[in-house]
Structure 1
């Protein structure tokens, strides 16, 4: 797995390596320029490392229980160094506050440890040169429009060094046991220009306690108590961390250009809010017991709809800006040499018809859990649903964002049906029923069309697109969306065919045909969770539990999941950590637990399930 832990404050995030280095950090938002980007170029990307002078072996990372506070422990013969990293965020009365700081605590145990602090900023994705200044016991590094301020509870007597033509600040000191010391990196404001007080490290211990309490109290809402509780709770913490608090938008992943396939060009910037991804993620949180995130996200969707006269695009910046021009950073070497390094995402201009269904489905979950559908929000739902039939007549780029010829993708048509089906449900729950008859007719016509044109009797499966031969794991969503039960003979046959052609152990690839960029070998972890959901739908609960356990075992030691994996070696692929993968953990675990409860309610307590009977002969 990638040797990184994630910290964040619900506005931006950083990756901290097992060597104690912040190797990825953008500010002030997830989708802002980086100031540390060593994951994309070890020489020019920049990093901020605090570690023993002796770098070997790497540290052992764990999160403080039920929080996003990360510890990295370095064991040395002379003593042990414990590094604690977090970004402060907490509630103050009714307000949520996220401070623009990275706090890094160091504590020696068992003996003194010689420690090295190296701050090597590379502002603006490494395109701006850094200059350093010292003032009032702090170190200021600035370049372009970015500036960071380093303070410490220890007097810093380091020096600025020139390494490979770039300046960096380095400081060595001996840390004695008995007291935790702090380094604080302030960011996001031009302190000199604004005449503001510099961020201090003196309150870091208090901020750690308040931040820990915030995460623990937030997690107390979790309703899941099944066998995968630890993984579900960690996944919820990841999704919450990736939620941009000022708007409620969910960032798909905090990174860019970690390749889906080595040696190719599938290196994408995922630091934005895809309406589909976010709808999935927020709905998963809601099912697990977290409600405020759904309200915030739905309000953000409502505002985007009114701001753009209901002409929504599929992806936005987390602050709602629709402009995501794609650019190559040619000066960066890339993650393990994978190029190009991209910022921005040209998929913003694509047509993906499933988006509206995902959004309306999220609103239906919200209503079912007691959420209020206002007249203003209903107007958004009604406008979306009214346009679905006409949209469904058109081909699109599909969920996988194909860049070649548009097709009539089965998954997209399925979600168009979902948009109508959930709009009907919402209408009956709110009393706004005047458009229901036309939606019912359109939904019936779409269902008949999908069942006729997406089903391929020759291969015995629903296919990627109408009148097609390509298999696509996205059709595995049919049962959980209520289109067809997994026990329908066509759905059962589809799951069986997909398992033969796309499944390898716990891994499920997206599709079995080439696309506009060639052959994609990597498995997509969300598809693997969809397969688990299919097994649950067929009441193969023991098999589903085994499959889910294997998927969860793919997590890093910290419980973090990437976008995908190599189905042969198990090597992680794609941006990290990925909201999609973590919502898959939550949804599949919750569905499995509900299915277990339903099975137990239907059968005598001393009667084993059919699958257990078969397993024991």
Structure 2
């Protein structure tokens, strides 16, 4: 299917809205094509992203589908879209609104201390006519439970109606006159210069904006929320500043405020391979992401968010052996059983559409290193090791000792045979190295010495079995194939920057595991991942290469790749999981937290090198 005939907008053309409880994706034509209520991982009420009949909500000028300009209100996750029609000009603002907390949240209850501001549980959309005369339309056609259940509407009055289905209910309110037409509610109204109108969806009971001025106040309050939040971040004055700010806003937008969890992405089943089967549900929290999340949050001076995330990790229920699963629900639930929605077409025919993630109970031995590196990062930053985290340190260290010699599915969750993946062994070394340092902070020299000895044993094993004859780190012990995850050896200090094996690994990946300079995870024809089809380059791996190049002193090469990566950002500054080089388009779930976290880390290394050069002048 060509992009010129596809009814699906390009993945990178969507705007991401968030209230830190759920998210929404807005297409360029003004249609909300993805929104799950009331939380990120709930069933969708608007699912046109995965099937053009699975629910949408458009608000914009009648008969015009291509906007003149789209941008975030600076420093926010509030979308501003300007339209030029034959009759005039209008601007639409869209926001999942935030405001002062109004008592207990019964929609998505908190397990973390409530903040001063919280979600309204409302999508607010305002329009203002800037010039001339423009006819505006509203078409709201939800389909609950991932498109399975068309909405049943009941009219409240001439300006409001309630939609219900599959145990879900919300209210649509507007100052336009609405009418019910089967599964949809519609409205049309002509605005002249200076006129304003609004519409809002509310799933918090019956609270809705009283009028257009009230709706505008809620948008303004949301703008203020995001700007106040971003003002707390430490963002250096550097050419990469705007990318850091957008990444920070995206990571915050992917945070589930009630528990402190961070979702990997706001979507499910956007394809890694066009029209293929590599479609996964990413609306959960990967423990592997913990260390990258902590690195990014602490780098940006967002210590409150970092602490909230660590408390979420501390609350998680471990497996019977004391280990943590590789992923959990945003509410901490363990069972993420995977199913398919075979009635949905999938994005551009990419099937199956998956809900849940069958990898949740895989063995992945890298998880222990991610947890313990996170705890050490957090401890060094706060200068305090919380008492409740010490049992977690011991349990994860013990699990790493038990597991490091066993094969696993690896960092990429391969669905083929378990292997002795080098990156898993590497993260086993990270686990024991960080555990030893934490034991030293606790003044437990006996444990520190024991864990340090095991870390050295793992290092020796990797260097004996995980390095090819040409001196390059392998994907796993039974192959000479390359894997981008071995770049973690540079990021986690496994080898010193001047080690020849590290440099050769970085060079080999840059030269042999790239397409047009962008990095693949691995070559699918050399890896038994249990799936068919080729995949795009992985953006996180490209950002890892930037960091690795900076570590080994190749600053010019690092900056060159970083410049290329920031040039392929979406029109609104967002990244999906992958980038298809041949057609220069984003693939995979969107927006992708891992990509933005890796951007922050890579940018941090480049900025540090630039500042050091300034100081040496």
TM-score normalised by L of structure 1: 0.92
C-alpha separation in 1, matches of 2:420 and 2:509: 20
**Pairing partner for 1:41 from 51, 55, 66:** 51
- Note the C-alpha offset of 1:432: 4.1
C-alpha separation in 2, matches of 1:415 and 1:206: 49
Equivalent pair of 2:321/2:399 in contact (CA under 8 Å): no
Alpha carbons of structure 1 residues 533 and 126: separation in structure 2 relative to 1, 3 Å = same
C-alpha separation in 1, matches of 2:47 and 2:517: 32
C-alpha separation in 2, matches of 1:255 and 1:94: 26
User: Corresponding residue for 1:103?
Assistant: 124
User: Corresponding residue for 2:307?
Assistant: 295
Residue 406 (structure 2) pairs with residue 394 (structure 1): yes
Equivalent pair of 2:131/2:192 in contact (CA under 8 Å): no
Equivalent pair of 1:509/1:524 in contact (CA under 8 Å): yes
- Note the C-alpha offset of 1:173: 0.8
C-alpha separation in 2, matches of 1:410 and 1:180: 59
Residue 584 (structure 2) pairs with residue 575 (structure 1): no
User: Corresponding residue for 2:143?
Assistant: 122
C-alpha separation in 2, matches of 1:508 and 1:387: 32
Residue 341 (structure 2) pairs with residue 332 (structure 1): no
Supply the RMSD in Å over aligned alpha carbons.
1.8
- Note the C-alpha offset of 1:91: 5.0
Query: Which segment is superposed worse, 31-40 or 543-552?
Result: 543-552
Any residues of structure 2 matched to 1:452-491 within 5 Å, and which? 452-458=464-470, 460-491=471-502
Equivalent pair of 2:365/2:404 in contact (CA under 8 Å): yes
- Note the C-alpha offset of 1:59: 4.6
| Structure 1 residue ranges without an equivalent (≥5) | 606-617
- Note the C-alpha offset of 1:542: 2.1
Query: Which segment is superposed worse, 334-343 or 69-78?
Result: 69-78
Equivalent pair of 1:14/1:25 in contact (CA under 8 Å): yes
Classify the secondary structure of the residue corresponding to 2:434: helix
C-alpha separation in 2, matches of 1:302 and 1:309: 16
User: Corresponding residue for 1:141?
Assistant: 163
Q: How many residues align?
A: 589
Residue 229 (structure 2) pairs with residue 218 (structure 1): yes
User: Corresponding residue for 2:326?
Assistant: 314
Equivalent pair of 1:386/1:439 in contact (CA under 8 Å): no
Alpha carbons of structure 1 residues 266 and 26: separation in structure 2 relative to 1, 3 Å = same
- Note the C-alpha offset of 1:519: 4.8
**Pairing partner for 1:424 from 424, 428, 436:** 436
Equivalent pair of 2:546/2:558 in contact (CA under 8 Å): yes
Equivalent pair of 1:454/1:463 in contact (CA under 8 Å): yes
Alpha carbons of structure 1 residues 24 and 201: separation in structure 2 relative to 1, 3 Å = farther
Classify the secondary structure of the residue corresponding to 2:277: coil
Residue 83 (structure 2) pairs with residue 74 (structure 1): yes
- Note the C-alpha offset of 1:176: 2.1
| Structure 2 residue ranges without an equivalent (≥5) | 1-9, 102-113
Per-residue deviation, residues 489-534 of structure 1 (Å, max 9, x unmatched): 1111111111221122341000122332135331000000111112
Equivalent pair of 1:563/1:578 in contact (CA under 8 Å): yes
TM-score normalised by L of structure 2: 0.92
Any residues of structure 2 matched to 1:205-244 within 5 Å, and which? 205-225=216-236, 226-244=238-256
Any residues of structure 2 matched to 1:153-552 within 5 Å, and which? 154-156=175-177, 158-162=178-182, 167-187=183-203, 189=204, 191=205, 200-201=210-211, 203-225=214-236, 226-305=238-317, 310-370=322-382, 372-458=384-470, 460-512=471-523, 513-515=526-528, 516-552=530-566
Any residues of structure 2 matched to 1:16-55 within 5 Å, and which? 16-42=26-52, 44-55=53-64
